[in-house]
A and B are shown apart, each in its own frame.
Chain A
Amino acid sequence: MDTYLSLLAWGSGGWGDEIAAGIWLTVTLALATLPIGLVLGFFVALAKNSEEPSLKTAANIYTTLFRGLPELLTLFIIYFGLQILLRNVFTSIGLTPIEINSFVAGMIALSLVFSSFASEVFLSAFKGIASGQYEGASALGLSRLQTMRLVILPQLVRLALPGLSNLWLILLKDTSLVSVVGLSDVLRQSSIAARVSREAFFFYFVACLIYLVLSIISSVGIGRIEAWTRRGDLGR
């Protein structure tokens, strides 16, 4: 037991600080992906909800692609594809090509996946809002932007939150894939520790526990947000 604890010690003797750095990277990556994915997903949902056929088709192609591809494949396509694309573009205009950061590649890939699933959540939330809400807002003389901001969005958030919190938990787990393209997240740091210390089971188990703890913390946070969105219901 003591030997295991010393493996997790801080500093040069143990792997505690390395793994903590990995946790930091995992959390930052997930938090950096979330807003991009949410905004993209919202606009894709708007596009799917629109009456314009070209917009609908384009949005459907987007979600079919990124919901159907394995997340790992999306990551590789973005990582290697962007690299090749940037190299070609930069050399053709006579600049030295820049290396694509694996953090950015991971963020883009995860945002694409997150947003295509989020658009489905937003879309079904849109369907849950009665058309009377739009008609009422229009009767009050609200502009389209005002209707969206003051009437639809507050209700949309409440309807979409359960689905979105599910997607957040999936996102947290999907961040582990970036360890494959060399980002030092929880899993990669644990892998290094496992290889060096030859305690593979212990370190991978610790990594699993860290993901569990992160999801428990998230659930508590999501519960608070849910209570906050429902604060209007209390009086009734």
Chain B
Amino acid sequence: MARRVSVQTRIGFTVLAWAVALLLFSPILWTLLTAFKTEAEAIAAPPTFFPQNFTLENFEAVQDRSDYFKHAWNSIVVSVGSTLLGLIIAIPAAWSMAFAPSKRTKDILMWMLSTKMMPAVGVLIPIYLIFRDLRLLDTVHGLTLIMTLINLPIIVWMLYTYFKEIPVDILEAARMDGAELWNEIVHVLVPMAVPGIASTLLLNVILAWNEAFWTITLTSGRAGTLTAFISSFSSPQGLFLAKLSAASLLAIAPILLLGWFSQKQLVRGLTFGAVK
């Protein structure tokens, strides 16, 4: 890690790195600052950096106009619900692929990955019509179902790469000791698999939270998640930059915090275990 470099070089690199990082972060930082300004100050020219009249009125206005809490609750239900449902279906599948692989296991995994490559627009119209006929449009459970399906391949893949690292010998030993299959799963496999399952859960909650194709096309007022909530701010109405910033901040803050905690697991999860 610590290469021998002169202090000057180190300072140079540090300054450059901070400049680039702050530049990349600036849209988020700017949103954060603007959210606490009055509407007049938000569009003032020349702009102010820190809010001169610190205010929370934008957050109140956003809650009154679009009911943030309802949308946030929908986001939580859909992202957590779809991930849990996905885990229930995926854990047995990944378990059997990792511990009882057959000749076709690799093919099945590749096939699952290939379903992710199918563009959503290719199936948008039938799904839209099916949802319309089954009265699933703009419902939380309908959206949860779709979200489970689109993230299922990633969940299976992630779990598979984690499960594969569990030593089989331990399972064999447990089996020798006469452990039943159920006991084998609950007492041996689960404790070793929990970290992998936890990171799978975290990453998929993030992916489902930020999903913006199906949430926008299949929901509106009732079951709208935060992606739909924020999209309702796309047409400007009068003075609104500060309110938009407040709404944006409310929509991204929860997942930004989760993301910061999970960034170590992110690489592995998003590359299907190919980069660790």
Do A and B make up one complex? no
B residues touching A (Cβ–Cβ < 8 Å)? none
